[in-house]
């Protein structure tokens, strides 16, 4: 297993093409725009070597029996699923942000079980091929980015009917050596500081869209791959220090738009090529695994938000006020409700034909749907309690200025000896954690809220629920009186 230092050094060996603010970054992993995301991902490596966390962060591989980083593991029990959630919460607490590696974790698990099903039904060799790739990832401890979301173009049209066929990643050529793919993947969390990315379809597909039914593994620095870093709220502050709020780990996951311009992929790295009838299953499994996560990682992040809010009210001496205590209690209530959802969907997990374990999809989707609401309310309550300075603080350069710095220090002092810099740092942390980019990711990460509602309705089993109601009120399912009830 790599150490955090070895992970950082490994990125320097890559020739990853990353653009930001109209420039090609020459030393991308140490650039201020990306360095915090590297640091947060590095925590997934550091914890694997920390005796306090090894039970959560490491596990024995079912392929080799060797100890591996859990982020390269395939779940083989409900205990695995639960430990994953606990690991994500712990990492959220340690970093206060997205540590990025769970997207690839979920992709590995989704592709593993889906390729097994493909081989069983179609007689293909995708699963055995994927197991070799998985062992390579476990042996090298590489960070894999999960790549599902396509730009999609006109959402009213399927991939094959798009005016521009590149709106979805697709196969443009096949030969004895491999395939060539073209298109783009959007909102790619952590991809610029990963080693590989695992491509998957983004929607269920039909026969006419079979060229878009493709899953494959590609090095992030492969020929024809370009990453364009997305802007974040307050990203210009990454060139500052205190004003970042979370200067070491940043906010969210350094998402990028990844362009694939006729990228060659050898057959040993191809895990779906035209088997459109299995695209929906792969999408659903990845989405459900990823929605499981949010009550873990976001609860860990909210633990930091709640702690910062509690510190902010103490700094001004209002921590004992009943309405303050009640609002903090509500923040805790909402956060722990989300955590309960992730634990529940894990504990209710089931074994698939591949012997891998899969979450309860209804509860996973419920958890993510609640995330899209509860984290906004937790953020709103933190804004309520932190006060107006959250939005009107002067810059850290003003704080350091010989002329106005002493003035700011005088008027930012709090209660009981709370110094101005301590207040400043806590408020900046809260501002960045509860600002625009972080909340948008909570809303749309792992799919939009409507995508979850579609899944929830599909699995609601309304027929059974109606049967229960009809029986209790003395009716048959046809609406006739049942005198035997």
Give the DSSP H/E element, type plus range, for residue 334: helix 322-347
Q: Which of 98, 216, 273, 345 is catalytic?
A: 98
286-332: pLDDT as tens digits: 999 999 999 999 999 999 999 999 999 999 999 999 999 999 999 99
Strands 58-60 and 67-69: antiparallel
Judge whether 100 lies within some domain: no
Q: Which of 290, 345, 358, 367 is catalytic?
A: 290
Q: What is the CATH number of the domain that holds 345?
A: 1.20.140.10
Q: Are 34 and 94 in contact (CB under 8 A)?
A: no
Asked if the model's pLDDT at residue 485 lies above 60, the reply is no
Averaged over 400-417, what is the pLDDT? 94
Asked if the model's pLDDT at residue 484 lies above 80, the reply is no
Query: In the chain, pLDDT over 70 holds for what percent of residues?
Result: 100
Q: Are 190 and 254 in contact (CB under 8 A)?
A: yes
41-58: pLDDT as tens digits: 999 999 999 999 999 999
At residue 395's C-alpha, the angle toward residues 391 and 400, to 5°, is 145
Judge whether 419 lies within some domain: yes
**How large is the angle between the packed helices 361-386 and 449-458, nearest 10 degrees?**
140
8-24: pLDDT as tens digits: 999 999 999 999 999 99
What integer pLDDT is reported at residue 338 of this predicted model? Answer: 96
Judge whether 385 lies within some domain: yes
Judge whether 255 lies within some domain: no
55-96: pLDDT as tens digits: 999 999 999 999 999 999 999 999 999 999 999 999 999 999
d(CA 99, CA 39): 8
180-211: pLDDT as tens digits: 999 999 999 999 999 999 999 999 999 999 99
Q: Which of 39, 255, 275, 431 is catalytic?
A: 255
Asked if the model's pLDDT at residue 251 lies above 90, the reply is no
d(CA 78, CA 308): 33
- Kindly state the tokens that stand for 95: 């970093």
Between 3-7, 121-125, 390-394, the lowest mean confidence (pLDDT) is in 390-394
d(CA 225, CA 238): 26
Half-sphere exposure of 269 (CA within 13 A, CB side): 20
Averaged over 433-437, what is the pLDDT? 84
Active site residue 345: no
- Kindly state the tokens that stand for 377: 């309310």
What integer pLDDT is reported at residue 436 of this predicted model? Answer: 74
Active site residue 47: no
Judge whether 401 lies within some domain: yes
From residue 344, how far is each of 81, 338, 347, 369 by CA, in Å? 10, 10, 5, 15
d(CA 378, CA 119): 46
Give the DSSP H/E element, type plus range, for residue 222: none
129-187: pLDDT as tens digits: 999 999 999 999 999 999 999 999 999 999 999 999 999 999 999 999 999 999 999 99
- Residue 409 phi/psi, 5-degree rounding, is -60, -40
d(CA 382, CA 139): 43
Averaged over 367-387, what is the pLDDT? 94
Q: Are 249 and 190 in contact (CB under 8 A)?
A: no
Judge whether 475 lies within some domain: no
Largest CA distance in the chain: 89
207-238: pLDDT as tens digits: 999 999 999 999 999 999 999 999 988 888 88
Residue 130: name the closest of 269, 28, 30, 267 by CA. Answer: 269
Active site residue 255: yes
Asked if the model's pLDDT at residue 122 lies above 60, the reply is yes
- Kindly state the tokens that stand for 455: 């899944």
What integer pLDDT is reported at residue 59 of this predicted model? Answer: 98
Judge whether 434 lies within some domain: yes
* Residues facing 23 on adjacent strands: 20
Residue 352: name the closest of 75, 107, 84, 59 by CA. Answer: 75
* Positive or negative torsion for Cα 156, 157, 163, 164: positive
DSSP string, 335-372: HHHHHHHHHHHHHT-EE-TTS-EE--HHHHHHHHHHHH
What integer pLDDT is reported at residue 1 of this predicted model? Answer: 96
Higher pLDDT pick, 205 / 442: 205
Judge whether 336 lies within some domain: yes
Strand boundaries in 32-123, DSSP class E: 58-60, 67-69
Burial 145-168 (b: 16+ CB within 10 A, else e): bbbbbbbebeeeeebbebeebbbb
Q: Which of 294, 357, 358, 424 is catalytic?
A: 294
Query: In the chain, pLDDT over 90 holds for what percent of residues?
Result: 86
The pLDDT-based confidence of 252 (bands split at 50, 70, 90) is confident
Q: Which of 44, 114, 189, 437 is catalytic?
A: 189
The pLDDT-based confidence of 241 (bands split at 50, 70, 90) is confident
Active site residue 444: no
Q: How many domains does the chain have?
A: 1
d(CA 130, CA 452): 28
Active site residue 207: no
Output Rg (C-alpha) for the chain, integer angstroms: 24
Q: Which of 216, 297, 357, 431 is catalytic?
A: 297
d(CA 444, CA 369): 10
- Kindly state the tokens that stand for 244: 């970042």
pTM: 0.93
Burial class (CB in 10 A: 0-12, 13-18, 19+), 27: exposed
Full domain range(s) for residue 364: 282-465
d(CA 313, CA 302): 16
Active site residue 98: yes
């Amino acid at each position: 297993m790599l150490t955090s230092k070895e992970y950082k050094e490994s990125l320097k060996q890559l020739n990853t093409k990353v653009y930001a603010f109209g420039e090609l970054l020459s030393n991308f992993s140490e650039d201020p725009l990306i360095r915090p995301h590297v640091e947060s991902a590095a925590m997934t490596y550091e914890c694997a070597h920390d005796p306090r966390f090894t039970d959560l962060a490491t596990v024995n591989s079912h392929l080799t029996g060797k100890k591996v980083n859990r982020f390269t593991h395939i779940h083989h029990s409900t205990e695995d699923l639960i430990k994953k959630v606990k690991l994500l919460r712990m990492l959220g607490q340690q970093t206060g942000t997205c540590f990025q590696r769970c997207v690839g974790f979920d992709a590995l698990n989704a592709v593993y079980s889906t390729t097994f099903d493909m081989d069983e039904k179609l007689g293909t060799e995708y699963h055995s091929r994927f197991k070799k790739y998985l062992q390579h990832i476990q042996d090298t401890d590489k960070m894999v980015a999960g790549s599902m979301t396509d730009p999609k173009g006109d959402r009213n049209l399927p991939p094959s009917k798009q005016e521009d066929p590149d709106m979805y990643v697709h196969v443009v050529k096949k030969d004895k050596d491999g395939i060539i793919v073209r298109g783009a993947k959007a909102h790619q969390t952590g991809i610029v500081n990963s080693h590989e990315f695992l491509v998957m379809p983004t929607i269920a597909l039909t026969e006419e869209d079979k060229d878009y039914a493709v899953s494959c593994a590609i090095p992030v620095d492969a020929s024809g791959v370009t990453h364009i870093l997305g802007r974040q709220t307050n990203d210009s502050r990454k060139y500052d220090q205190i004003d970042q709020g979370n200067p070491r780990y940043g906010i969210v996951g350094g998402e990028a738009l990844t362009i694939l311009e006729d990228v060659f992929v050898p057959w040993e790295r191809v895990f779906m090529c035209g088997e459109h009838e299995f695209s929906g299953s792969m999408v659903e499994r990845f989405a459900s695994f990823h929605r499981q996560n949010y009550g873990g990682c976001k609860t860990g992040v909210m633990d930091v938000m709640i702690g910062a809010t509690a510190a902010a009210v103490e700094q001004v001496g209002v921590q004992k006020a009943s309405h303050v205590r009640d609002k903090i209690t509500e923040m805790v209530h909402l956060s722990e409700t989300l955590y309960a959802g992730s634990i529940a969907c894990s504990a209710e997990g089931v074994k698939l034909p591949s012997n891998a374990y899969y979450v309860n999809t209804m509860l996973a989707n419920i958890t993510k749907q609640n995330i899209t609401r509860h984290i906004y309310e937790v953020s709103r309550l933190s804004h309520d309690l932190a006060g107006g300075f959250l939005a009107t603080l002067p810059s850290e350069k003003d704080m350091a200025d010989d002329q106005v710095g002493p003035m700011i220090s005088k008027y930012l002092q709090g209660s009981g000896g709370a110094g101005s810099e301590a207040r400043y740092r806590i408020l900046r942390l809260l501002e960045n954690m509860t600002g625009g980019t972080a909340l948008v990711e909570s809303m749309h990460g792992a799919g939009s809220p409507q995508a979850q509602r579609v899944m929830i309705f599909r699995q609601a089993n309304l027929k059974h629920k109606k049967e229960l109601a009809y029986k209790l009120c003395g009716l048959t399912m046809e609406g006739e009186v049942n005198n035997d009830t």
